[in-house]
Chains A and B, each alone.
Chain A
């Protein structure tokens, strides 16, 4: 035990990949075993904690009757529409805001005010204005992610070194070229990292919106399951959200490695 501790407990030191994976797997298995003991041992009321098999069964029946697929599809559509829409505006505006004082002066005060308003506080207003359809969910995600993205991307743009721009001028670049050929490429790794982080947040806003008022989507699926005390379905809904989050996160990581092999690790 002692050499193990000696070897693998130094701060910020690499450990062998084998050890890394073993530890990750052990923790995962432990959680699963703990859950199984609690549920199969009936240490927790079956109403409150489903067994793993029940969750799998819920997944199968949800797949067969279409409710799982439909609700997942609705949530994915809403999140992608809101997120893509927010990103389309936030990325260029954020890059400009971080590097042009005049844009910063125009946008930053508003953005800073807006980003401290929890988007959940806007939901009642959005329901009044837009209704409870998909449009409202998209609006919630848009407002929730747009201002956060804007501030984060402005920081990325602000962090691009002055010397990098200056050296471009001495190589014969004009202002326009410096923006298109230097500033924008220089921000790209940070932009992708920002998108990756804010997509995770977007899931939160989506589920909050669907919990408040909706007639489809994964948040609705979870809330509806609660009404009938179908904890297996609640578990299923949560796990699907977690899984989708994990997949999109990994996709972003792959995208970054594929598009920007030159970038340093984030």
Chain B
């Protein structure tokens, strides 16, 4: 039997995986994992503010993440300090502010654990609509600007000379990543959400020869992990967020191992870790 909440959870899981796959590839290519962590950690403040303003918490999360990503983008344009220092300062400041407000406003009853570790079974209809809208936006953006986005990721100056609106596209990509993190938090919580972006992309890397090949493989592997993790969580009574992330990491391990074995096999049986991908050697 498929109950309503389970179906919604499954839809959310697969939807977020499809979103996080291609965006996660950019996170990996541009080494933005720390940017994702910072957004996720500061998101608690967004939730608290959403409650205080009587907004839908998911909507509040998305808005707050988008706002923060814009602030970071603006800060990066004129920086004295290294990016990770700015990110760390902002995100922990926001996390601390969220916790302090939460303790001060005693009528505010927020299930803190649900936001830290996710509560996929609490996915609402509105959440699914927000997710669907975001999926459409990401699909449109990637279809329209794929070449420019990959180009600016590899070499922004070259992209600019060739007419790519680098600053605008980078902001757009940062905002989409921020929004994906915000909706992903509903699923696995702010502690684990960045893994939804990074792990499927990492698992897809060894089997990919092109950027778009890596993006769609990441989406497919992420969807597999989300489905498997949810099933495991229902069947074995595990917390859903950690179960999904754990399955994703297992998929990554299997992918890496399989690729190493295949490479070793092709070389005539001598496994040489470190040199797994012959194309990566200089």
Report whether chain A binds chain B: no
Interface residues of A (CB under 8 A from B): none
Interface residues of B (CB under 8 A from A): none
